[in-house]
Amino acid sequence: MTVDDVQIDGRSCAIFQRTLERVGQRWSGAVLFASVAGARRFGEYRRAVEGISDRMLALRLKELERDGFLVREVIPSTPVQVLYRPTPAGAELIAALQPLGEWGHKHLAELSLE
| Beta-strand relationship, 70-75 and 81-86 | antiparallel
Total-model pTM:
0.80
Higher-confidence residue: 109 or 66? 66
pLDDT score for 5: 63
pLDDT digits (tens, 9 = 90+) for 18-76: 888 888 899 999 999 999 889 899 999 999 999 999 999 999 999 999 999 999 999 99
State residue 107's pLDDT score: 83
Instruction: Please tell me the least confidently modeled range out of 43-47, 54-58, 101-105, 109-113.
Output: 109-113
Torsion of CA 18, 13, 35, 92, to 10 degrees: 140
pLDDT per residue as tens digits for the range 6-15: 677 888 888 8
More confident residue, 20 or 82: 82
Please give the pLDDT value at position 22.
85
Strand locations in the chain, DSSP E?
Answer: 70-75, 81-86
Q: List all residues 6 or more positions away from 94 whose beta carbon is below 8 Å from its beta carbon.
A: 32, 33, 35, 36, 86
39 vs 114, residue with greater confidence? 39
